[in-house]
Amino acid sequence: MKNKWLKRILIVTMVILGICLIATSNFKEIIYSLREIKPSILFIIIFLQIITEILLIFQWYKISKLMGLPVNFFKMMIINAKGNIMDSVTPGAKVGGEFLRGLLFKEKLGYTTNQSISLIAIQKIISVGSLVTMGLLALLFTPKDLLFLNNKGLKYVLVTVLSILVLFFITLIIYPKKIVDLFNRKKSNNKWLNMIKKWTYEFSEHILKIQGNKKALVFQFTLSTLIWMIFPIKLIILVSTFGLKINILGLFATTLISYVIGMIPLLPGGLGSFEMTMSGLLIMMGLTTEQSLITSVTFRFVTFWFVVLLSLLVSAVGSIRERGKHEKEKTNKQMERTTT
């Protein structure tokens, strides 16, 4: 009950901040700031977003292969597209999208429930682990006069939390058997506990397979880091249109912090919380209110709405392709019956 009230308070606060931000903006300045973003700049960041999506699909594909699971790149692309659509209608933590991906891994690729959960868990450990590590480095190396980092107490808290998370992800990757041992200590006939025990065992086996191929593991973390680095690069390109000299590390920190805040499950896809966080941090870095609003909204359009539209297109193509395949199989069966 307390969590519901806290969530409502956060949403109301976010809405009020958004209204205040828009109310204090000059409409003419907003239009002027929007005109400063040239079509060529928009094309470049859209192109970078397409590369990001391809790299993400490639990551899912490669992790599946490392786990020794049968995989098809086109099917993985369709699954990821449908997962993206579900992410857009579920709160920031993206649980809905991962749940749908799990179901589609079973339906489209023939994975078991435990294999699907393990694949999702491993991808998330690598992806979120890389994000948290980059966020930690950004906090450590970004000059303290930028953002809110001049507040030592807040900075120490954030560094401590992120450090704990990094250690947690490292433990999951390096010592998976400790998780198995932890659950095996509990002797019970409980159905759910036994299911968790079975999954943790399979999860540790999959992790150990990946551990055995150290080059592939390093490659996955490098790939994930590259994927996350493309996001701040898009923000740097957008901000450069205003002709301001902004610290690049500060923009990296702004992007990563905005994504971490956006993962808090308040509104579908982290909407609102992401934009308000990014706008606020950009204002702290020297952009005007109007420039910050246009930058955050444009950035969000490319990295969220464009991805949703692209995913809808890919899903539609996939559905047409599957329908055509079924029709072809149906026709072939009819022809076989006629021949016999």
Q: Which pLDDT score, from 0 to 100, does residue 59 have?
A: 94
State how far the Cα of 147 lies from the Cα of 212, in Å rounded to an integer: 42
Position 119 scores a pLDDT of 87
% of the chain beyond a pLDDT of 70 = 71
Residue 56's pLDDT is 93
pLDDT surpassing 80 at residue 6: no
Amino acid identity, position 165: L
Phi and psi angles of residue 273, each rounded to the nearest 5 degrees, phi first = -65, -40
Average pLDDT value for the chain: 77
pLDDT beyond 60 at 28: no
* Through-space distance between the first and last CA atoms of the chain, rounded to whole angstroms: 67
Residue 55 in this model has a pLDDT that exceeds 90: yes
Please give the pLDDT value at position 14.
47
From residue 39, alpha-carbon distances to 33, 132, 271 in Å are: 13, 33, 24
Q: What's the pLDDT tens digit per position in 139-151?
A: 777 766 666 666 6
Question: Taking Cα atoms as reference points, which of 48, 44, 53 lies closest to residue 240?
Answer: 44
Give the lowest-confidence range in 243-247, 265-269, 292-296, 308-312: 265-269
Mean pLDDT calculated for residue range 21-27: 47
Q: What is the rounded distance in angstroms from the CA atom of residue 150 to the CA atom of residue 147? A: 8
Tell me the C-alpha to C-alpha distance, in Å, between residue 328 and each of 332, 335, 340.
Answer: 6, 11, 18
156-192 pLDDT, tens digit each: 777 888 888 888 888 878 877 777 676 666 666 666 6
